[in-house]
Amino acid sequence: MPIRTVTVYAASSQALDSAYIDAAARLGTALGRTGYRLVYGGGGHGLMGAMADAALAAGSEVHGIIPEFLTRVEQGHQHLTSLEVVPDMRTRKARMLEDSDAVIALPGGCGTFEELFEAMTLKRLGQFLGPIVLINTAGYYDRLLDFLHHSVSEHFMNQTHLDMWQTVAEPEQAAKALEQTHRWSAQSALASAAVQKRS
């Protein structure tokens, strides 16, 4: 199926090295130029804000989803194509994936990790079948990727699960990675589950 809507997970911290901010903006520009509709967490700061601003400037439709309690801490991005306020974090995560064809994860903290692992888990179970791409700016995800390989070597995951995501070093490589990703289907998920059970 063609990719139309891409969910982007990203940090909202404003205390980040400029290399991460720059990469987020470059991702927004690159995705905006493809014509993808983007969905993200609705923030106006950090990597979230940099990505959204650049995507909007490049002509992309950008939809933000923010939990109501966070609007009392930060207003959310005020210049998006649309901003949806939801009751809580669980609803936000579900809505961000609901109509999504693919996921991209910029560097982030525990919130980004949680979102990324939920997408991976749903893909593992055949509930989300789209591409997942990690933007590995400055090798940020290297240790996480090492740990995932360790999980496979210890048989907590199957070797085939490493096909559930791709990693790129530069944000400009993300769109190509989305389009050329290894096909994952509900049958792939069931097959990998059967292999894991036997092991």
Strand partners, 35: none
* Residue burial 2-23, b: 16+ Cβ < 10 Å; e: rest: ebebbbbbbbbeeebeeebbeb
CATH among 3.40.50.450, 3.90.100.10, 3.40.640.10, 3.40.50.970 for 5-198 = 3.40.50.450
- The pLDDT of 141-164, averaged and rounded, is 95
Name the residue ranges covered by the structural domains of the chain: 5-198
Is the pLDDT score of 199 beyond 90? no
Q: What is the pLDDT of residues 64-101, one digit of tens each?
A: 999 999 888 777 898 999 999 999 999 999 999 998 99
Q: How far apart are CA 56 and CA 179, in angstroms?
A: 21
- Tokens found for residue 32: 């905006």
pLDDT band, residue 4 (cuts 50/70/90): very high
User: What single letter denotes the amino acid at residue 50?
Assistant: A
CA-to-CA separations, 186 to 85, 125, 133, 139, 161, in angstroms, rounded: 31, 8, 19, 31, 13
Q: How far apart are CA 168 and CA 9, in angstroms?
A: 15
Tokens 């990693």 belong to which residue? Answer: 167
Q: What is the pLDDT of residues 180-191, one digit of tens each?
A: 887 777 666 666
Q: Which of 88, 89, 87, 94 is nearest to 39 (CA)?
A: 94
Q: What is the pLDDT of residues 22-74, one digit of tens each?
A: 999 999 999 999 999 999 999 999 999 999 999 999 999 999 999 999 888 77
List the helix and strand counts (H, then E) for the chain. 7, 7
Q: How far apart are CA 79 and CA 62, in angstroms?
A: 9
Q: Which of 1, 182, 5 is nearest to 102 (CA)?
A: 5
- Mean pLDDT, rounded, of the chain: 92
